[in-house]
Amino acid sequence: MTPKIQSVRGMNDILPDEAEFWDLFEETIRSWLKSYGYRPIRLPIVEPTPLFKRAIGEVTDIVEKEMYSFVDALNGEALTLRPEGTAGCVRAAIQHNLVAQQPQRLYYMGQMFRHERPQKGRYRQFHQVGVEALGFSGPDIDAEQILMGARLWGDLGLDGVALQINTLGQAAERTRHRAELISYFEQHGELLDEDARRRLHSNPLRILDSKNPALQEIIRGAPRLIDHLGAESMAHFESVQQVLRDAGQPFEINPRLVRGLDYYNLTVFEWVTDRLGAQGTVCAGGRYDGLVQQLGGKSVPACGFAMGVERLLALLREAGGETTAAAVDVYLVHQGSAASRLAVRVAEGLRDQGIDVLFHCGGGGFKAQMKKADASGANFAVIIGDDEAEAGEVTLKALRANGEQPNEQKRVSVDGLADAIMGSILDWEES
């Protein structure tokens, strides 16, 4: 027997039942983003490897061990499947001079790739919705981006997603804290794990972000960055908090919320749930005023966030929200040659009127076709036999109990069919 080929570990197929749920989610996402004036941008999945090394940083989990990088066999170029979207978005903004005229509010959604150990909420191909505001120095935009999250949870009917915020100040303010952090962790050297020891001198801030339970105790006792920040940074942070308080948005200040790179600054935030086990962060973001310049552009302030789609959908499913799309309106049952020819015309005519039609294919008797009609989830069966065809009529049968008697059926003229269906749908919506 020929061996079957399986999908790559950690990269999932999204089958139709599930994919319809994704479509619904993406519709909500698009209208939510539009309501804040964000515009879509579509970016390549493959980018030059140096882009990510520069944008994400050499001393990060992603660049050290999670990237799908390869050499293009045809021209020797070093390429990487994007592990996140900010780098590509900023690259595109620089390349096409997007921020020259005016600031930009941009978003994208799609696959990201990271070679991690697959587990619930952590995959090798996963999806993000990414939101980037380029050319705004905040703190108003920071606060707006945070509050956008709150609105989305509302739109999706999710509760229990909690907000954590922190400030990273500016790179210069972090130097003294960095030295204190290194000496503090050196004192506890024997308790550090391998990752932490490796980062101690290259990227000590990143140790605060460790997920290792054994490290949490010493991380809690570490010197706090916030104690080293100047008035300007604190004022920015205070303004963000003020907007949140004015909006009635609860938050927690989490001093362990960090990004380990110099071009991240000021605001960082995460939306977290305790309903997804260890993979509880559904949205993470903050300010990255240094990145555009770091990637070769002018100095342009920026801030953004990314949401993990798989984690949000898991949360939605767990909350028991609507996960199925509406079925088609009509299943078209037909038997006999004159009937089948009329049926094709009827189906196209209904679609002209905006009515969705599943046209029965593959022949078979009325009884078998009606079973398929029932199983399809359609609201109506339109039935055409040769006697109907001769009379220029069809039989319309309600399959669902949406206010109408299920199984009620009536003969209607071909020309009156669309109106009859629309009328019934309107009746349902009213009742």
Question: Does residue 108 contact residue 85 with C-beta atoms inside 8 Å?
Answer: yes
Stretch that binds ligand ATP, among 99-107, 228-236, 308-316, 328-336 (CB under 6 A): 308-316
Q: Which residue has the tokens 């030295």?
A: 179
Residue with Cβ nearer ligand ATP (128 or 265): 128
Minimum separation from the CB atom of position 210 to ligand ATP (A):
10
Q: Which residues pair with 304 in a beta bridge?
A: 132, 286
Residue 282 in the binding site for ligand ATP (CB under 6 A): yes
Residue 60 in the binding site for ligand ATP (CB under 6 A): no
Residue 82 in the binding site for ligand ATP (CB under 6 A): no
Residue 281 in the binding site for ligand ATP (CB under 6 A): yes
- Contacts with ligand ATP by CB under 6 A: the residue count is 16
Minimum separation from the CB atom of position 21 to ligand ATP (A):
16
With CB under 6 A as the contact rule, the residue among 18, 20, 26, 116 that binds ligand ATP is: 116
Residue 228 in the binding site for ligand ATP (CB under 6 A): no
Where does 266-401 have alpha helices with state H?
Answer: 291-294, 309-318, 337-352, 366-376, 386-391
Residue 306 in the binding site for ligand ATP (CB under 6 A): yes
Residue with Cβ nearer ligand ATP (26 or 116): 116
Mutual angle of helices 171-187 and 194-202, in 10-degree steps: 140
| Token pair belonging to 218 | 């010493």
With vertex at residue 14, the alpha carbon angle to CA 327 and CA 127, rounded to the nearest 5 degrees, is: 115
Q: Which residues pair with 334 in a beta bridge?
A: 384
For residues 415, 420, 423, 424, the Cα torsion angle rounded to the nearest 10 degrees is -160
With CB under 6 A as the contact rule, the residue among 21, 25, 32, 123 that binds ligand ATP is: 123
Q: How many CB atoms lie under 10 A from the CB of residue 125?
A: 17
Minimum separation from the CB atom of position 283 to ligand ATP (A):
6
Residue 198 in the binding site for ligand ATP (CB under 6 A): no
With vertex at residue 13, the alpha carbon angle to CA 276 and CA 278, rounded to the nearest 5 degrees, is: 15
Residues 90-109 that bind ligand ATP (CB under 6 A): none
Residue with Cβ nearer ligand ATP (306 or 339): 306
CA 337 – CA 343 distance, rounded (Å): 10
**What track of x and - describes contact with ligand ATP for positions 21 through 50 (by CB under 6 A)?**
------------------------------
Q: Which residue has the tokens 């605001």?
A: 267
Residue 310 in the binding site for ligand ATP (CB under 6 A): yes
Minimum separation from the CB atom of position 284 to ligand ATP (A):
4
Question: Does residue 144 contact residue 37 with C-beta atoms inside 8 Å?
Answer: no
Residue 207 in the binding site for ligand ATP (CB under 6 A): no
Residues 6+ apart with CB under 8 A from 400: 379, 406
Residue 122 in the binding site for ligand ATP (CB under 6 A): yes
Task: Write down the number of H helices and E strands in the chain.
Answer: 15, 16
CB-neighbour burial class of residue 12 (10 A; exposed 0-12, middle 13-18, buried 19+): middle
Q: Phi, psi at residue 334, to the nearest 5°?
A: -150, 145
Residue with Cβ nearer ligand ATP (121 or 343): 121
With CB under 6 A as the contact rule, the residue among 236, 308, 316, 330 that binds ligand ATP is: 308
Residue 260 in the binding site for ligand ATP (CB under 6 A): no
Residue 84 in the binding site for ligand ATP (CB under 6 A): yes
Q: Give residues in contact with ligand ATP (CB under 6 A).
A: 84, 114, 116, 121-123, 126, 128, 279, 281-282, 284, 306, 308, 310-311
